[in-house]
Structure formats: C-alpha cells, structure tokens
Structure 1
C-alpha cells in the first residue's frame, strides 16, 4: 500500500509538471517539483583529470576536471561539464544543492526548470592557430573553462534572450540547458573577478582571460550583445598577440607559441550580463564540439 501511494504521488507530480505549457518556465515551484522526481546522482565535489602524451605544462598546470590528449595538430578536450560546487540546479535531494542564485542589481531572479546532468562533450581545438578570419559562433560549446565547464556565446536559446536568461544563473553565474548541460555565458566568480586570470580556451584555440590585460582595463571595445560581427578579442596595441604576464603559465605558454598564435579574448568589460566570455564571432577558424 505504501509503495502504491508513493507511486501515485509521483505520477500526480509528474502530470502537474508536464501538463504545463511547453514554454520555458522559470518558476521556483516547477524546479522544486522536478527536483523531487529527477535529482541528478552525478553531484560530486571531486572530479577526474587526465592528460595524454605531449600535452604542454600550461594545460596540465591550469585545467582540471578534463581529459586532454593531442591528436595531430589539435588538442582534444573531453568533459562531463559538471560543477564541483553547490547550485540549485543539482536538485533538492543532492548533497550539493543550495537555493542561492546570483545577486543582481536589478531584475528578479528565478531558477529555470532544468537540472544538471553529466555530459559527454568533446572539443577538438587547434594547437597553433594563426588565422584571424572566422565565422559566427554557433550555439553550444564554444570553448572550455579551466574547471572543465563549457563556455557558451552571448546568445540564449531560441525564443529567449540572454538579458532575460541572465536572471536564471546560479551563484556561480552558470546554469543548465534543457538537456542538463551546465555552462557559462559570462564572467564567473569561481574563476575570475575583474582581473587578468585565465578563464579557459575557445574553440579556435585562442585563450580567454578576465576583464584586464595585466593591469590594463577595458581591453575590448565595440561589443554588442548578441552581435554576430563582434568579438571579445584583445585589441590593445602591442598586447593583442601577447598573453598577460600575470598568468603563472605565461612563460611555458610563450615557449610553445609564436606571436601569431597568442591572440586571445578578454571578458567584455561591461557589468553583469555584459561581462561576456565569447561574443558572436571567433577570432580565428574554430575546431569542433560534439
């Protein structure tokens, strides 16, 4: 009888959730109900990191929660894109659950109806890209952060806008898609805060740094949210092909690079939703993400 009652309760909850409109639902009640029946079992404060032969020290000493190998002229990054910190998107029964969302200066925060799920993402990234002409950044993984979380561009899912979606970000400025793929669009406080720290690597092989180039602020201009012709590339004269020296691995990186391969991005210097990681256009020819 107890098993039957529990099953009936779960069915009623499930019906309540899925009889709603298919339109995105950012209500806290929806996520709470969903968490009861669909909490992720992948939550962990630890992760596995492995590197293959030929992977340089600047990757080994910087990236975690990834598997990285060398394949011809490419690096191959594999990740489950699972955060090792707390988030409401783990579901209320998870040990890593918390209710906090990012605190904004305006707007009303609310979780989206998705939960974090383990992914099987492979990014094939050029080792020594020298190109400077590239197409628009497609949806999905446009790069990978140093903690193994994938980087997305400055556009939201179709039918939404990032300026609206922004208010669903958790305390670390990330959130999951409808398939559970956790990701970042903007500056994340777990990796950078108005500084020159390395955030990750874009799909074209060029690195992504914080809002400053060493101590120089505002190293990008001309940014337009959702602009397919704009890029968050460094444009400081004399520095656009030289990574910040404050990065601990700069010497090892430069030893493996030429000036033409050291072009890079900076987080856009705007506040909140405008602190974009990668805008609508890559610097150079991108690899692939699956």
Structure 2
C-alpha cells in the first residue's frame, strides 16, 4: 500500500482540548479545524491502483474492488475559503470575481464528509443517464463534483454568486463541492479535473494546451452533456498533454477513451458535468 501526505506552506499546528460536556457537533467542528490548520491531507492507494490515478489524485483513498475503483474522500479543501468561518486561520474574505453581481457567502460552513465513489474500471457503456443531485464525481484534489443543477427551489445561476475564490461552496450540511470550472485545478486548459461516477475522466475546456474551443456546448439543465471534442481527430482519445495519458491509454481501448470536458463557457456556463452522464455504471454514497 502506498501512502503520501500533502503539506502546505500556510500550515500551523495547534492542540485542541475538549471538555467532557462539549457537544459532539462542536467537537467535530473543532477537530476538523485542527485537521485543516495542520494543513495536511492523506492520500492512500491500495494494491492494483494504476499509476495514472496515483500520479493524478490527492486527498483521496483509492482501492480496487472487483472491476471497480473505490474513491473515499472527505471533500475538505486544503486552501483558504470564506466558508471556513472567521475563527479559522484559513478564513479569507475574498470571493470569486465575476462580471455580474458581487458574490456573497451563503450561511453554511465547511464540514468533513464521508463520501464513497465507486467507478467501473473499464466502462464502455454510452447510454446517457440522469446524473442526479449531489456528488457524482471527485476532482483531482479530493473535492466532490456536482452537476449543473442547484438544490430544489434554487438555480445555479443564483447559487453561482455564492462561490468562494476557488469557485466552490458548501451545502446546508457543510458538503463543499464544485459545479463549475475550478481555477485551483484548471483554467481554460486541458488539465485533468477529475473522474465521474461512470468511470469516464473529466478534462478542462481544451483538448490539449495548444487547441482552443473544442468542447461542445449545452444549455443549463438540458439533457445534453459536454462529453466530447468537436474536433473529430480528438474526440475518441484523452488529451495527450495530460501527464497520465500514455499510461491510461495503454490499458484502454478507443471505445473506453470517451471523456468529459468542462463546458466551453465563461463563469456559470463553465459547467463540469451536466444533468446527464455518458454512460451507466458506478455508485455514490
């Protein structure tokens, strides 16, 4: 088993003591704050996990179970956010700057989750399915990926103005997640963003670093998904500029090389995944 710990320059360590009469929820919040302020996340890979996962993902525990990869993660960002609250050393007032109205934080704070994402190793299914609400993928930095749908009764175009400087925000249960292009990972480029629950990879807006505007568009909430490049020469292979491309392609056929791209739109239209996936398979809990 291979394990590594990612550390960050803004780290500092302190000790928390909890009185016996402290509520469990209070202890959980304090313990999580201590974990963040120690500024580390653990990344663990079990036997049989391929090189392209080991070299691409952090802040996750990945194992092999039959014909699936199992990702476990807490969806806790290791960077500063307004959603850590003003008592945290990693609190910042900065929010994402956009061309519309000024962002304002929602009332929620980040809380550690207990996510499990099970994805098929070699999915070839292309029967698009409804992706559903909640976590449907994981980013390369261990953050939950949601689709383009907001919580019932709301719209993503409204929720967009609550995103922090990393274009993420927490739910009312503290589940921090991304809906749109996360600038901490990808910014109008071809970098690997994450993996969806059907096992297909998600890349930035470009097919590779020298080719622009090659992803299909879709309407928010529409049945269509941004699943391929419009460039016929590239729509059946992962971007060659991805560092894991060679290793990944040696174990995949042309059919299983289908992949997602962040939608080629600005701000709220830079959706990571839409209301439908490429294929069936995988599970979340």
* 1:219/1:266 contact within 8 Å kept: no
How far apart in 2 are the matches of 1:273 and 1:202? Answer: 20
Q: TM-score, normalised by structure 2?
A: 0.86
* 2:168/2:176 contact within 8 Å kept: yes
Q: Which secondary structure does the structure 2 equivalent of 1:175 belong to?
A: strand
**Structure 1: tracts of 5 or more residues without a match:** 1-37
Q: TM-score, normalised by structure 1?
A: 0.85
Which residue in the other structure is 2:279 paired with? Answer: 284
Alignment partner of 1:43 out of 36, 49, 66: 36
* 2:217/2:264 contact within 8 Å kept: no
Q: How big is the shift at 1:221? A: 2.3
Alignment partner of 2:108 out of 101, 107, 114: 114
Which residue in the other structure is 2:232 paired with? Answer: 237
* 2:206/2:215 contact within 8 Å kept: no
How far apart in 2 are the matches of 1:109 and 1:57? Answer: 39
How far apart in 2 are the matches of 1:192 and 1:221? Answer: 17
Q: How big is the shift at 1:222? A: 4.1
Matched, 1:156 2:170: no
Matched, 1:128 2:122: yes
Matched, 1:248 2:243: yes
Which structure is larger by alpha-carbon Rg, 1 or 2? Answer: 1
How far apart in 2 are the matches of 1:94 and 1:111? Answer: 16
Which residue in the other structure is 1:142 paired with? Answer: 136
How far apart in 1 are the matches of 2:281 and 2:155? Answer: 24
Q: Which runs of 4+ in 1 moved over 6 A?
A: none
Report the aligned-residue RMSD: 1.4
C-alpha offsets along residues 120-178 of structure 1, whole Å, 9 cap, x if unaligned? 00000011000111211101111000000010000111111000100000000000011
* 2:133/2:146 contact within 8 Å kept: yes
- Count of residues in Structure 1 that have an aligned counterpart in Structure 2: 253
Which residue in the other structure is 1:88 paired with? Answer: 82
